[in-house]
Each structure stands twice: as structure tokens, then as C-alpha cells.
Chain A
């Protein structure tokens, strides 16, 4: 097993007497993608937000690249390598270009380099035609793609995506899914809260299932999923299409 990029040692989140998260020892490997599943209200969003340092918690400890970290204080070095993207992303009241350039600007990237990176990110998201459009006027799908481009352009080590394909129409969902798939294929690590079977069927994705405040890591191996598809008549190239969540063969993995 590779050295984990992030080891979540302990997250305890309580609202009054109710424990929302009681997570221990989850290792996220670098270059791997994880689908975070669970019922509505199970705490998926809270889990991502605690890691991103956006949500207070009673305990929130981990080890990032070998260094102990408290997610609550979220030190700069960690914060700049982790990006959280909301389910309904907020785009600033500026142009699409300025939204994507925002993170680069705060990192002190030169204007010339910013422009190159922004153009590259927009082309990746197939939004080049919206460069100077006011971001607030975009459709939900376009906003999601701009938010993914805005995150990707910063080359973070860890993407935390909160239901990126939820509440989108079929076309926007497919376009967003393509970008998510591309992010998962790249070197970064992604944790994607989702209910979307298409996300769960992405190649090599692992599953973190959240129930009763606890997370279990499952390995949904390609072999197992392909075997299922072979039985149900799917070809490998159709990976993900029409596969229901419970049809994928997930095996629990020991978290140590």
C-alpha cells in the first residue's frame, strides 16, 4: 500500500447530543478517487467541510503527507492543497475569467501566467466562449463546470467535491461527469460525495460509505464491476452507463 496522502485519524462532530460524525482512521491514497456515499443527512457534506476547515468539529485530527494536522486550524500549506467545491458552487460577481483567476491571483501568480492558465482551464471545461460573461448569469451546469475549472487550475492535491452532478439536467450532468472523470484520471486525489451511480462506476474509484456517523472503505474493483457488467450484457467501454448503485460489487477494506 502506498503512503497515504491524507490519513484521517479522528473526526468527531456533534450537534448537541447527536453525533453526526465519529470517524476514525480513514486513509486516502494519493492519485486515488473516492466516492463518498450515504443516505441524505448522513453527514457526507459535513465530513468534506470538516476536512476543508470550513466546519467546526469537536475533534478533527489527521496526518497530511506525514505531518500531523488539525483540520480546524487548517494551516496555509494544507489549505492551499485542498479545494472544496460546493454542491451549488458560488461564483463571484465578476466575469468567468476573473472567477477562475481568483485562486491564482491570491497565490501571487503573474498576470501573464494567469491568463494562460485560465484559458487552459476554460478550454478544459469547454467554456472558452464564456470567458468574459458575468458568472452570475450562467446556468447551473455551467456554474458547476466553472467551479471545477476554478478548482483544477490551482492543481490541488485533494479535491473535495460535494455532489457535483446533483440537480443538473441530463446534458449538464453528462458534461460535468466528464470533467469529474477527467479529474479522477489525473494525479490528484478526489473525494466525491454522491448518489450518482455514474460517479460510482468511474474507473478505479473506491467507495467510502457513511452510515451512523462512521465511514467504511470499500474497494469496488474494476474486475468485480466488469464481471457484473459482463453478466448483465454491458461492454467495458460503457462503464458506468445504466449501472445502479447496489449492482456494483463493493468489498469492505480494513482501515489500518
Chain B
């Protein structure tokens, strides 16, 4: 394999507006962005609640969440496959091998990251934030909003980290998406497929896009954190 000519081909593919290639990129970004939009509000709320409230079972929820952080995405995919397959509990919804199923899978992967980072950010915040908001008459909802605003860089780190994880995961997408061309084929599953076929140019082009997305996300995080860290 000539690496130089393969890389050249990959850039030609990428910048010539190859329809198939760009549809794969679009599927990846759409699924991951929708998953993040749906996962972020409830996960941040759960992280905040775990950080600020004491209730029966709190430790168990935290322990389960920490466990899910390390769960392999292919195992999450397998569990969802069993739930969504024809004979599964949610088989009647006919979600298996659809983008909606991929969104569900990515929500399941993103949620523990969002919860853990938010929990950590809120727990690490200055206790006077909450007390000041309460003392100034804020309602519980307003107090929560104020606290999350004060630790917004921690919450943003949660969102960017979770996005980085879901956009690059392959196990779950492959299991419940099925890697169907034009429908559920996203960047990681396409890279795996093209590489196994020996079509490295498309794989490299997609890898370049994935790497660019990951770098851009990290760059944004560094930028915002840098400004937030200024005193």
C-alpha cells in the first residue's frame, strides 16, 4: 500500500464533495448532536441533584453511574439490542437498526459521563454559592441554575467530553445501528468497514474528519476553560 497516494486520494474524496462520504459524516454528527441535546438536560439535573441532595439510594445511584462510566460501548449496544430486538421488551417499537436506536445508545453512553462530571463540578464548587443564592431569596430551581452557571466550565467539560465519547464510539452503533449505508452508517462504523475491505482512502478521509471533530471539541473546551480560569 502506498501511503502517500492513499492519503492523497482520501483528501480528493473529502474535498471533491463525495456524496456517500459526506452522508456518513452527516449521519455521525446528526446522531451525536441529537443524543447530546436529549441527554444533557436530564443528566446535568441528575448530577446536580446527586451533588446537593441526600436521599435513600443516593450512594447506589452514584456507584452505578461510576460503573457505567467504564462500561464497554459494545456491552451497552448488546443490552439495547436485546431490548429493541423483535422479541425484546421494546421490540414492538421497531427501533432496531434505525438512527433513533443509535441516538438511544449514545444517550446511554453520554449520560454517565455527563452525570459524573456535573456531580464532580457541583461538589467542588464553593458552598457559599448555594448559600448566597438561598439567602438572596432564590427558589430551589433558581439556586440550581445559579450554581450550574458558576460551575459552567465544569459542565461544559462534561458536555464536550461526552460528545467526544459518543461521536467516536463504534461498538454500540454497530450493534444497534447495523451499519446500513445511507441510513445508520456513521464515521466509526464506516472506517471499520472500509478498512476491512482494504479501501483505505475513504477510511483515512473519515478518520481525518473524526480527528478534526475531536480536536475542535478539545480546542473549544481549552478556549472556554482558559477564559473561565482567568482571575
| Distance of A185 Cα from B189 Cα, bound (Å) | 73
* Chain B positions within 8 Å of A192 at CB level: none
* Chain B positions within 8 Å of A92 at CB level: 129, 132, 146, 149-150
Find out whether the CB atom of A103 lies under 8 angstroms from the CB atom of B150. no
Cβ-based interface call for A137 (8 A):
yes
Cβ-based interface call for B58 (8 A):
no
The residue on B at minimum CB distance from A81 is B137
Find out whether the CB atom of A150 lies under 8 angstroms from the CB atom of B134. no
Contact (A86, B131) CB under 8 Å given A79-B137, A107-B137? yes
Interface size class of B (residues with CB under 8 A): 10 to 19
| Distance of A93 Cα from B131 Cα, bound (Å) | 15
| Binary contact readout B138-182 vs A (1 if CB under 8 angstroms, 0 otherwise) | 110010001001100000000000000000000000000000000
Cβ-based interface call for A136 (8 A):
yes
* Chain A positions within 8 Å of B138 at CB level: 102, 106
The residue on B at minimum CB distance from A103 is B136
Cβ-based interface call for A83 (8 A):
yes
Complex partner residue of A86 from B128, B133, B146, CB under 8 angstroms: B128
Q: Output the least CB separation between B84 and chain A (Å).
A: 43
- Which residue numbers of A lie inside 8 Å of B, CB to CB? 52-54, 76, 79-80, 82-86, 88-90, 92-93, 102-103, 106-107, 136-137, 150-151, 154
Closest 5 CB pairs of A and B: A90-B128, A103-B136, A80-B137, A84-B135, A90-B132
A-B contact pairs, 30 of them (CB 8 A): A53-B134, A54-B135, A79-B135, A79-B137, A83-B136, A84-B131, A84-B135, A86-B132, A88-B128, A90-B126, A90-B129, A90-B131, A90-B132, A92-B129, A92-B132, A92-B146, A93-B149, A93-B150, A102-B133, A102-B136, A102-B138, A102-B146, A103-B136, A106-B136, A106-B137, A106-B139, A107-B137, A136-B231, A137-B231, A154-B137
